[in-house]
C-alpha cells in the first residue's frame, strides 16, 4: 500500500483554517478556565467558609470525575431538551473552559499555598485587609509560579479540543474528517492532523520556555 498525500495538499487551506479555529477556541476556553479556576481555587483555600468551599469543591469534583466528552454532549445535546439552544462554538468553549477551570483551580490553590505565610502576616501588619493582601501581595507572587503548570494545561487543552469536532465545530479535526469523507485517505489525513497538532503544541512549549527564561532572568521565579 502506497501513501497518497495529494488530498492533504489539495485541502491544506481547510486544515489551516481548522487549525486557526482550534487555536481560537482553545485560547478563549483557557481564559474562561483561568477565571473559573481563580475563583474556585481561592474559594477552596478556607474551609471555614462552608458554603463557598462546598460549592467550589463540588464543582472541581464533578468536573474532574466525569469525562470531557460527556460534559460537551450534555451542553450540546442535553440542554436543547429544556429549550436551551446554544451555538456549537459556545458549547465547545463552555465545555472546555469549565473542564479546564477545575484543573486550573488546583494550580491556583497550590501556587497560593506555596507562598510563605509570613507574606500575609506582614501585609496585615501594615494595615491591609485580607482581600487587599491577597490582591496586592500574594496573588502577584503566585501568578508567576502558576505560569509553568498553566502552560501544561494550555497544551493539554489544545489536544482535548479535538473533541469539539463532534459538535460540528469546524476545527482542525473536523476539517480533516471532511477531507477523509471525499478522499478516503484516512491515514494520510490523520498523519497531517497529527503533525499540525504537534506544531501547535511545539510552538506553545517554546513560547513558554522563553517566558520562563525571561522571568528567571528577571529574578521573578525562585
Helices (H), 83-185: 88-114, 117-125, 130-133, 139-160, 172-183
Q: How confident is the model at residue 217 (pLDDT cuts 50, 70, 90)?
A: low
Grid cell 479555529 is found at: 21
Does residue 5 sit within a domain?
A: no
Q: How confident is the model at residue 215 (pLDDT cuts 50, 70, 90)?
A: low
Closest CA to 156 of 26, 65, 24: 26
- The total number of structural domains in the chain stands at 1
How far apart, in whole angstroms, are the C-alpha atoms of residue 204 and residue 210? 10
Does residue 142 sit within a domain?
A: yes
Is pLDDT above 70 for 221? no
- Summarize pLDDT for 14-58 with one digit per residue, the tens: 999 999 999 999 999 999 999 999 999 989 988 888 899 999 999
Does residue 132 sit within a domain?
A: yes
CATH at 54: 1.10.3720.10
- Whether the CB-CB separation of 22 and 200 falls below 8 Å is answered with yes
Q: DSSP letter string over 15-81?
A: HHHHHHHHHHHHHHHHHHHHHHHHHHHHHTS-TTSHHHHHHHHHHHHHHHTS-HHHHHHIIIIIGGG
Does residue 109 sit within a domain?
A: yes
Does residue 129 sit within a domain?
A: yes
Is pLDDT above 60 for 222? no
Does residue 62 sit within a domain?
A: yes
Is pLDDT above 70 for 220? no
Span between the terminal Cα atoms of the chain, in Å: 54
Does residue 92 sit within a domain?
A: yes
The parent domain of residue 20 ranges over 11-217
What pLDDT, on the 0 to 100 scale, is given for residue 36?
95
Cα torsion 169, 172, 176, 177: sign: negative
- Whether the CB-CB separation of 25 and 93 falls below 8 Å is answered with yes
Does residue 212 sit within a domain?
A: yes
Amino acid at each position: 500500500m502506497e501513501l497518497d498525500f495529494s488530498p492533504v495538499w489539495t485541502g491544506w487551506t481547510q486544515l489551516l483554517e481548522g487549525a486557526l479555529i482550534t487555536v481560537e477556541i482553545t485560547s478563549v476556553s483557557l481564559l474562561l478556565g483561568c477565571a473559573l479556576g481563580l475563583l474556585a481555587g481561592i474559594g477552596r483555600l478556607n474551609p471555614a467558609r462552608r458554603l463557598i468551599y462546598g460549592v467550589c469543591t463540588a464543582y472541581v469534583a464533578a468536573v474532574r470525575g466525569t469525562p470531557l466528552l460527556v460534559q460537551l454532549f450534555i451542553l450540546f445535546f442535553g440542554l436543547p431538551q429544556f429549550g436551551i439552544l446554544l451555538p456549537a462554538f459556545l458549547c465547545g468553549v463552555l465545555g472546555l473552559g469549565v473542564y479546564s477551570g477545575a484543573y486550573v483551580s488546583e494550580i491556583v490553590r497550590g501556587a497560593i499555598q506555596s507562598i510563605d505565610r509570613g507574606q500575609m502576616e506582614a501585609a496585615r501588619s501594615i494595615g491591609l485587609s485580607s482581600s487587599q493582601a491577597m490582591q496586592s501581595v500574594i496573588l502577584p507572587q503566585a501568578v508567576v509560579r502558576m505560569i509553568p503548570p498553566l502552560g501544561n494545561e494550555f497544551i493539554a487543552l489544545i489536544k482535548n479540543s479535538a473533541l469539539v469536532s463532534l459538535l460540528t465545530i469546524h476545527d482542525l479535526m473536523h476539517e480533516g474528517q471532511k477531507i477523509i469523507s471525499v478522499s478516503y485517505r484516512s491515514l494520510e489525513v490523520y498523519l497531517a492532523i497529527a503533525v499540525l497538532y504537534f506544531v501547535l503544541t511545539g510552538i506553545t512549549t517554546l513560547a513558554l520556555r522563553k517566558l520562563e527564561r525571561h522571568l528567571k532572568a528577571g529574578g521573578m521565579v525562585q
